[in-house]
Amino acid sequence: MAQAWLEVALTDLQSSRNNVRHHTEEITVDHLLVRRGQAFNLTLYFRNRGFQPGLDNIIFVVETEDAVYLDSEPQRQEYVMNDYGFIYQGSKNWIRPCPWNYGQFEEKIIDICLKLLDKSLHFQTDPATDCALRGSPIYVSRVVSAMINSNDDNGVLNGNWSENYTDGTNPAEWTGSVAILKQWYAAGCQPVRYGQCWVFAAVMCTVMRCLGIPTRVITNFDSGHDTDGNLIIDEYYDNTGRILGNKKKDTIWNFHVWNECWMARKDLPPGYGGWQVLDATPQEMSNGVYCCGPASVRAIKNGEVDLNYDTPFVFSMVNADCMSWLVQGGKEQKLHQDTSSVGNFISTKSIQSDERDDITENYKYEEGSLQERQVFLKALQKLKAERFHSSRRGADLQPSRPTPLSQDSPRSVHTPSLRPSDVVQVSLKFKLLDPPNMGQDICFVLLALNMSSQFKDLKVNLSAQSLLHDGSPLSPFWQDIAFITLSPKEAKTYPCKISYSQYSQYLSTDKLIRISALGEEKSSPEKILVNKIITLSYPSITINVLGAAVVNQSLSIQVIFSNPLSEQVEDCVLTVEGSGLFKKQQKILLGVLKPQHRASIILETVPFKSGQRQIQANMRSNKFKDIKGYRNVYVDFAL
Residues identified as active-site: 197, 256, 279
Listing DSSP states for 331-349 in one string gives EEEEEEEESSSSSEEEEEE
**Contact (Cβ atoms closer than 8 angstroms) between residue 241 and residue 520:** no
65-80 in b/e form (b: 16+ CB < 10 A) is eebbebeeeeebebbb
Q: Which residues fall in the annotated binding site?
A: 319, 321, 367, 372
Contact 290, 360 (CB under 8 A): no
Rounded Cα–Cα distance for residues 300 and 596 (Å) = 48
Binding residues for Ca(2+): 319, 321, 367, 372
Helix (H) or strand (E) holding 384: helix 370-392
Per-residue b or e along 27-61, where b marks 16 or more CB atoms closer than 10 Å to that residue's CB: bbeeebbbbbeeebeeeeeeeeeeeeeeeeeeeee
Contacts of residue 412, defined as CB under 8 A and 6 or more positions apart, other chains included, come to: 373, 377, 405, 406
Report whether 467 contacts 473 (CB < 8 A): yes
DSSP strands (E only) in 146-273:
157-159, 192-195, 215-225, 232-237, 251-263
347-352: Cβ within 8 A, 24+ apart = 347/88, 347/95, 347/218, 347/219, 347/221, 348/88, 348/216, 348/217, 348/218, 348/219, 348/260, 349/78, 349/85, 349/86, 349/97, 349/216, 349/217, 351/74, 351/75, 351/77, 351/78, 352/74, 352/77, 352/78
Count how many residues are written for the chain: 639
